[in-house]
Structure formats: C-alpha cells, structure tokens
Structure 1
Amino acid sequence: MSGGPLDGVRVVNLSETVPGPLAALLLADLGADVITVERPPPGDPARRFPAVFAALSRHQRAVSLDVADPRGLGLFARLAERADVILVGQRPATARKLGVHPDQLRARFPDASVVSVSSFGLTGPGASRPGHDLVFQAIAGLLDGPPGAVPVVDMVSGFLTAIAALAAIAGHNRDGRARTVETAMFDGALALNTFALTRELAGLPPDATPVAPAGYGVYRLGDGARVCLAVSYEAHHWRALCEALDLPDLARLPFEERVARRDEIDGKLASRMREWPAEDVRQVLATAGIPAEPVHGPAEVVRTAEFAGRTIDGRHLAAPFLIDGRRAGAAWGVPRIGRDTAAVFGELGLGRAELGRLAEEGVVVL
C-alpha cells in the first residue's frame, strides 16, 4: 500500500500464527512497508489453515529465512538495519537462542523500535510457558461467564480505533497532513471473523479454517475444577500430553485423526483426567510443557502470580504493554464530572471568573 498514514515506515515482521501477523497486517493496511520473514517450508504454521494465512498476509512483502542458521540470521540483520520497527513473536528463551530477543535487537539496531508479542511476556513466572488462544481465555477469566459477558466487538473496535489514531499521528508527523481514518464496530466484528469470511470469499473448504482437535478444550478434574488444554497442531505437544496421562495408544495419532475422532478421543482424555487425583493431573501437565491452564474466574485471576505487577496501586488494571521495561500510564482514579475543567481551560487562558460564569450557565462543569 502506498500513500497511507504509515507510508515510509518499514516494518520487519519475525512473528507467526496470529497475534504478531495480525499486527503486521494492520500496519501494512495503514501504509507501512511490511516485510514478513517466514521460516523455510512448511513455513508459518498458519499455512495449515489456508484461509487464516490468506487473511493475514495481504499488503506485505514476504521472505523466507532460517534465522537459526548464522547465514540466515545475517540476512535478517540486513533487513533489520533498515527497519523502523522490528516485530517479534518468540518466547524469550527461544528468541535469545536465535539472537532475536528484544534486548539483543535493541543493542544491535539502536535506531529500530522493537515490538514483542509473546505468551506471558518477556519476564515473570509465565515467560517460558507455551500457549494458544484458548488457554489465555481460560486463565484471564474469559471462559467463566455467560455468552456476551466479554464485549469482544467493543474491545476489538477500541483497539482498531487506537491503531487508526496512531496512524493518523504518524502520518501527520511525516508530512504535516491531517487525515480522517475511519473504522466502525461492524468492521471490528468482521475482523474477528476474518478467517471464516476469507474462506467463503475464496471458495475454500471448511478445513481451511481451524477445527478444534481432541485435546483443545475445557476438561474437568476429579475435584470438580476445570482445566483448559490447548494442544493444537503441534505433534510434540500431543505426544507429551499422551505420555503424561499414560495414553500411549493415542500418542501417534496425526492431527487430522484427532479432528475426525474428536468426540471419541476427548472422551478418553476426559475420563483419564477425572479418574486421576486432581493434583497429580495438574503436576504432570505442568511438568510436561503442555499448553494447559486452569479456568479462572475474575476473582481467581487477580490472585495469580501472572497477574502480579499488572495493576497500578492494586486498584486499576495497568496498560497491556511495557515501554522500555515499565508499565505505561498512571492511574489518576475515577474522575468526578468536571474534575479537570478549571485546570485545562486555565492553561488556555480562561480565568476563574469566566469559568464560573460559564458553569452557572450550564456550559461547563467545574
């Protein structure tokens, strides 16, 4: 795309599956020159579902490099040297081993901003743990409640609006031209369903979008608690799960069979997890490196180790990102109506007397 608010901004994207590529997609849609670095064949795991990959790959230039090879890493460095933003999506230990941890990238490419999206963050008690969408819904309390309890379209529309505003600001800084950048809640809702809609528009079959296999869902333990498993397409996670639960006859099942026989296989998983002592199941899942988390309600979320440090003064949820290692923003408390009217307009030269008259006439609230 040319002529967008981010025209002239170069982004090098070294992330895959959904969160990082979605961010790269939005930046590309707004005019950035996005170069996506994909692993060699079979490439991004999202390619398993053609509609997903198609939905996320537009408006980008794609290269394929093995950054685990020093030569591939050298080629990546040549891209990164010319980047305004480097987008990475690996877990911290993996990123550091590859030489693409944000700390390493900032040291090597001081003129580039580095944006990281990972499972639990770059530091903290969950930094090394794997995960897929479903376990984050579970551990964040999103699976605990009736339909509509989380206003996802409202939330996504807010994120899109923030991105649009940032794009307008960046464009104005670049060329001094103000813009109207528009989004709508319907667009947000469509964005949420982009994989299925892309499938329909392209005439692709139903399996072009993700189908939950056995091992991807919520299961009850013997003590009544619920645990979420997010064992998706990765064969090593499936084998680890079967070994941990002593189900060797299921360990070699391919992804396609786990989809086709989901009810049958899930029944075996569910029975085994109900039969074993609950604490034993929790322990084997935790030590086997399987994407698995408890299904929390909000009251439980705020008591978890992962939640610690994600509030301001213990009363307000902090911003969902770190800037140079610090939580952005500050909590000023919930303002009363008109709390800052006098101060703000005072900075613009309006005196107390004039503001008072306006307040008496119902024009302002002080």
Structure 2
Amino acid sequence: MPGPLAGHRIIEIAGIGPGPFAAMLLADLGAEVIRVERAGAVRGPAPEEPHGDILLRGRRNIAIDLKNPDGVETLLGLVEGADALIEGFRPGVMERLGIGPDVCLARNPKLVFGRMTGWGQTGPYSQAAGHDINYISLAGALAHFGRKGEGPTPPLNMVGDFGGGGMFLALGVVAALLEAGKSGEGQVVDTAMVDGSAVLMSMFWAFKEMGAFDENARGTNLLDTGAHFYDVYRCSDGEYISIGSIEPQFYAELLRLTGLSDDEQFAKQMDQGEWGPLKERLTEVFAGKTREEWCSIMEHTDVCFAPVLTMSEAAAHPHNVERETFIDVGGVTQPAPAPRFSRTATSVESAPAWPGEHTRDVLAAWGFDEARIDELIESGAVRHAD
C-alpha cells in the first residue's frame, strides 16, 4: 500500500530550505504533492537526468506565472481540488499576489494553508530577512552550542531550517488535515523557525528550572561537551568516536573497556570539578588506538558508543545497510523516508523534477481540459518544459 497520507493533495509554492523539506516529508508519507515553480524558472526542455536537489524528490512540477491573472486563476483552480497548500514567502507576499489565505479559503473552505517563515507572521522582526543562524540565535538555542571558552558553533542549518522549521510545518499541516477531516473547515498554520527552535529547547528549559543547566556557562554542562562521558574523542588515525555513557551502568562499561575501572578518580562521575581532568585522561586513552580498533572493542556494547561517520561512511555502515536507512533514487544515494509504517509503507515515488516538467500532466490530472491547457500555455500563464 502507499504511505499513510495517500489520497491527500498538497500544493507547494516553490521556495528553498524548510518549505521543500516539509513538502518532501509529506510526499514521502504518500501525499500527492505538486510543486509550483515560477514560469521564469523553465529554461527549455527538461533534461533527461533528474534534478540534483534531493529535497525535490517524490513530486511533480508545474510552472505558473503568478503575476499573470490567468496564472493566479490557474492556481486557484488547483486550490479547489487540494487539501493543503504550503508557502514560504515573507508575510504579505501571498496576499499581494492575490492568493493569500482568505482568497484560497473562500475557494476551498476545507483547505489547510501552511505558512513557513523565519520570524512568524507577526512581531517586530516579521518583515526582516534572516537565515537559520539568526532564527536559532533569537530562539535562545545557538548560545548553547559550543565548547567551554569558545564562541557559539552553528550546528549546520539543521536546528532552525529543518528541525524547527520544515518538520514543524509538516506536523502542523498533518494535524490541521486531521482536524479538517472532523470539522470540515480549513485553517492557517503559522510556522516560524524561531518558534520551532524554541520548542526544541524545551528539555533545557526544564533542566534550567531544575538547576541542572547553567545557561551562562556554555560547554560545562552534561550534554554540551562539558562532561567527560558525553563527548567526541580523536583517535590515533585522526578519526573520531562518540561516547554517551551517562547512566551509571553505561559509565561502568566505559571504564571497564578503557581499563579505568580501578581508577578512583573516575569514580567521581558527576563531580563537575573533576570533569576537566578526567576528559584529559580519556583524551589520552582514546588517542592510543584507531577508530576501527575502538569499534572492535566498543561496538555492540552498552557503552553508548558509535563511530563519528561522514555521510558517505554512514551510507556504507552495516547497520544502516541492513535497515536500508539510505536508498538509491535515480542513481543518487540519499536518506530513505522516515518513520516506518507496518501497513502503509512509505517509498520515494520519483526522482527530483525540473521546473515545469509536468505542467500539462498536472493540469490534466486536476481537471483542466486540453483546450484550456493550450490557452494557458499560449498566454504564458503557465509554462511546460517540452
């Protein structure tokens, strides 16, 4: 069977980063997602090879000129047959194009209108430009990534764009679809990366309240590289391993396998005053063997251990190979859909498409007759990459 969202139709207004990521997740889960590109993005016939952007996988692509009245009407015609629409423009842009939530919901009262911004639809920052690094800064997240004595370290753009942004947009859309199925009414989902990033910090707000996290001492806490038993260590070959031996039984296993069980200093696991010297000792120990040697000693034990792998190494690791965590689509290695479902299994239906590659097919499948499609192409309201 197709994925659990099979039967749902979703329109994605083309953007970058978190919007395409949310659309990819929804498509991975079985929804029919069409990506609406700018007409100007069509540069001629679609190349034979798939588009290289993995975030575009699993959906068809249509090109519409949203500054053309016929283009706007075309999109609204698609809205009438959709369950949801997602967009990632600054607040007010969709309204100025004539396809804001009020207009779309008037055409389809059950529509879920998902909005993705950095700062949100309201607030003093709402009209300002920004990127992941800025959103996680304002959310109170970035300040806490980094080692003692060093500045904050941006964690790629995974926390704001994808964890706090695209993932929350996908969750919000699915939740609103569930509600619309009961009420018969759509609604707007205002997803802001600063909001989502703040939510991702919930456990640390709890730790702070309980006195277990010092927000003014980056790199000295349990999970921020302060502890000697929760960190990465360099091996003799220059590769790294990760250790997360928090619980007493796991810590005991760490000491046993490193030969440190009889060292009285290591018995003071939770004495933060000892963490610095103990980390220096472990640094020396782990530097004495290669990563592969430590894998042979610690893999499949309760140390809470894993080698630190690059993307390519991860794709080739036996655990990931057995679980098919990575798949090949159109000759490109990439992460498989997640999570997994026992009855409605997910799959990637197609490789990434080029702008306008499916304009004719999408319009025909969504109820436009052939003569009308020809008119729209002739007028420039839509473009087909043929």
TM-score (structure 1 length as normaliser): 0.53
Question: Which residue pairs with 1:240 in the alignment?
Answer: 253
Q: Deviations over 1:52-73 (max 9, x none)?
A: xxxxxxxxxxxxxxxxxxxxxx
Aligned-partner Cα distance in 1 for 2:302–2:168 = 34
* 1:271 maps to 2:290: no
Question: Which residue pairs with 2:379 in the alignment?
Answer: 361
Q: Deviations over 1:6-29 (max 9, x none)?
A: xxxxxxxxxxxxxxxxxxxxxxxx
Aligned-partner Cα distance in 2 for 1:215–1:298 = 25
Distance change >3 Å, CA 285–CA 346, structure 1 → 2 = same
Higher RCO, 1 vs 2 (CA within 8 Å, ≥6 residues apart): 2
The counterpart of 1:253, out of the listed 249, 267, 277, is 267
* 1:346 maps to 2:355: no
Question: Which residue pairs with 2:197 in the alignment?
Answer: 189
Q: Deviations over 1:27-62 (max 9, x none)?
A: xxxxxxxxxxxxxxxxxxxxxxxxxxxxxxxxxxxx
Alpha-carbon contact 1:312-1:331 (below 8 Å) kept: no
Deviation at 1:326, TM superposition (A): 6.9
* 1:216 maps to 2:223: no
* 1:174 maps to 2:182: yes
Please list, as runs of the form range in 1=range in 2, the aligned pairs for 1:85-234 lying within 5 A after superposition: 147-156=154-163, 157-198=165-206, 202=209, 204=211, 206=213, 210-211=222-223, 212-232=226-246, 234=247
* Runs of 4+ deviating beyond 6 Å: none
Distance change >3 Å, CA 250–CA 235, structure 1 → 2 = farther
Deviation at 1:148, TM superposition (A): 4.8
Deviation at 1:220, TM superposition (A): 1.4
Aligned length: 218
Alpha-carbon contact 1:322-1:328 (below 8 Å) kept: yes
Distance change >3 Å, CA 284–CA 199, structure 1 → 2 = closer
Aligned-partner Cα distance in 2 for 1:240–1:261 = 19
Alpha-carbon contact 1:235-1:254 (below 8 Å) kept: no
The counterpart of 2:352, out of the listed 331, 334, 337, is 334
Aligned-partner Cα distance in 1 for 2:199–2:297 = 37
Code of the aligned partner of 2:356: G
Alpha-carbon contact 2:222-2:230 (below 8 Å) kept: no
Alpha-carbon contact 2:268-2:274 (below 8 Å) kept: no
Question: Which residue pairs with 2:95 in the alignment?
Answer: none
Question: Which residue pairs with 1:32 in the alignment?
Answer: none
Code of the aligned partner of 1:335: A
Q: Percent identity?
A: 19
Alpha-carbon contact 2:291-2:307 (below 8 Å) kept: no
TM-score (structure 2 length as normaliser): 0.50
Alpha-carbon contact 1:227-1:293 (below 8 Å) kept: yes
Aligned-partner Cα distance in 1 for 2:292–2:347 = 39
Deviation at 1:238, TM superposition (A): 0.7
Code of the aligned partner of 2:251: W
- 5+ residue gaps, structure 1: 1-145
Alpha-carbon contact 1:160-1:188 (below 8 Å) kept: yes
Code of the aligned partner of 2:189: V
* 1:262 maps to 2:270: no
Please list, as runs of the form range in 1=range in 2, the aligned pairs for 1:24-63 lying within 5 A after superposition: none
Aligned-partner Cα distance in 2 for 1:148–1:197 = 19
Aligned-partner Cα distance in 2 for 1:325–1:250 = 52
The counterpart of 2:314, out of the listed 268, 279, 301, is 301
- 5+ residue gaps, structure 2: 1-152, 216-220
Code of the aligned partner of 2:196: G
SS at match of 2:382: coil
Question: Which residue pairs with 1:86 in the alignment?
Answer: none
Q: Deviations over 1:127-167 (max 9, x none)?
A: xxxxxxxxxxxxxxxxxxx8453432110111111111111
Alpha-carbon contact 1:244-1:284 (below 8 Å) kept: yes
Alpha-carbon contact 2:242-2:305 (below 8 Å) kept: yes
SS at match of 1:182: strand
Code of the aligned partner of 1:343: D
Aligned-partner Cα distance in 1 for 2:363–2:346 = 26
Aligned-partner Cα distance in 1 for 2:291–2:194 = 43
Distance change >3 Å, CA 349–CA 273, structure 1 → 2 = closer
Distance change >3 Å, CA 362–CA 293, structure 1 → 2 = same
Q: Deviations over 1:200-232 (max 9, x none)?
A: 6x5846369745421211111222221111112
Distance change >3 Å, CA 278–CA 302, structure 1 → 2 = closer
